[in-house]
Structure 1
Amino acid sequence: MTWGITLILLSIIAVPSLLLAKKPNAKELLAKIEPYQGWIGFGFFFWGVWGIISSILSIGSLTLYPVWWITLLAGNIIEAVLGFMLGFGLINKFVLSKSEAGAEKGMRLREKLAPKQGKLGILGLIVGIWIIVASFLPAF
């Protein structure tokens, strides 16, 4: 359930226009978070990548709990992609800038993903809510 909540929070940070339309004081709240957005994204990127690796390593669970396994894999992919987009500056500085080719590939990937950030944020909200609901259901 905690993971679903964190995915929802990450999605809200990734889709500020959605939040700004609903709450008039949200702009001030997002302004407070903005200096930390890169670090938040950096952390979620690595957490999401670790979740993807864990999902692949536990692929045996797919036969026992297919819906839950697919949910976790999808949530981790969304988390890694949104984390990459939010933390791109730091990821570029600490990881990708080590090689010219890595920095160039990272920039191309960022350019492809940027127009989809809003849709991914909304998908992250939906998956986060589903994770919370599914955590109360019996294993399936």
Structure 2
Amino acid sequence: MIYGITLIILGLLAAPSLLLSRKPDAKELLDKITPYQGWIGLAFCFWGIWGIIQAILNIGLLTTFPIWWITWLASSAVEAVLGFILGYGMINKLVLSKNEEAKQKGEKLLAKLAPIQGKLGLAGIVVGIWVIAASILFYA
């Protein structure tokens, strides 16, 4: 359920126009969070990567709980990608800047992902809602 809540928050951070169109006074809140966006993105990126690794290590669950395993993998992947987009500045500063080849690959990946950031944010919100629903349906 935590993945679902964090995905919804991450999706809203990645697609602020969705939040602003529904609640115009949310700009103040987003302005308060912006200085921490890099750290938030970095944390979610690593948390998403860790979730992908854990899902792959527990691939045996695919035979007994296929919907939950696919949900776990999908939510982790969306979280890692959105975290990368939001935390790219911090990731570049702390990790990629030490290796020029890695820095160039990171810039290319960001260039591919940036145009679809809003759609990925929306996907994060939808997957987050599904994760919450799935955790209620399958673990209640």
Above 0.5 in TM-score? yes
Partner of 2:48: 48
Partner of 2:103: 103
Instruction: Spell out, residue by residue over 1:12-71, the C-alpha distance to the aligned partner (whole angstroms, 9 max, x if none).
Output: 011001111000111111000000000000000000000000000000000000010001
Are residue 121 (structure 1) and residue 121 (structure 2) matched?
yes
Query: Which secondary structure state, in structure 1, belongs to the residue aligned with residue 122 of structure 2?
Result: helix
Aligned pairs (5 A) from 1:10-89: 10-89=10-89
Equivalenced residue count is 139
Identity among equivalent pairs (%)? 63
**Distance (whole Å) between structure 2 residues aligned to residue 15 and residue 94 of structure 1:** 25
Q: C-alpha displacement at 1:137, in angstroms?
A: 1.0
**Distance (whole Å) between structure 2 residues aligned to residue 8 and residue 16 of structure 1:** 12
**Distance (whole Å) between structure 2 residues aligned to residue 138 and residue 61 of structure 1:** 13
How high is the TM-score relative to the length of structure 2? 0.97
Which 4+ stretches in 1 moved above 3 angstroms?
Answer: none
Instruction: Spell out, residue by residue over 1:73-130, the C-alpha distance to the aligned partner (whole angstroms, 9 max, x if none).
Output: 0000000000000000010011111111000000000000001111111111111001
**Distance (whole Å) between structure 1 residues aligned to residue 58 and residue 65 of structure 2:** 11
Partner of 2:136: 136
Unaligned stretches of 5+ residues in structure 1: none
Contact persistence 2:3–2:75 (CA under 8 A): no
Q: C-alpha displacement at 1:138, in angstroms?
A: 2.9
> What is the RMSD computed on CA atoms of the aligned residues?
0.8
How high is the TM-score relative to the length of structure 1? 0.97
**Distance (whole Å) between structure 2 residues aligned to residue 138 and residue 79 of structure 1:** 21
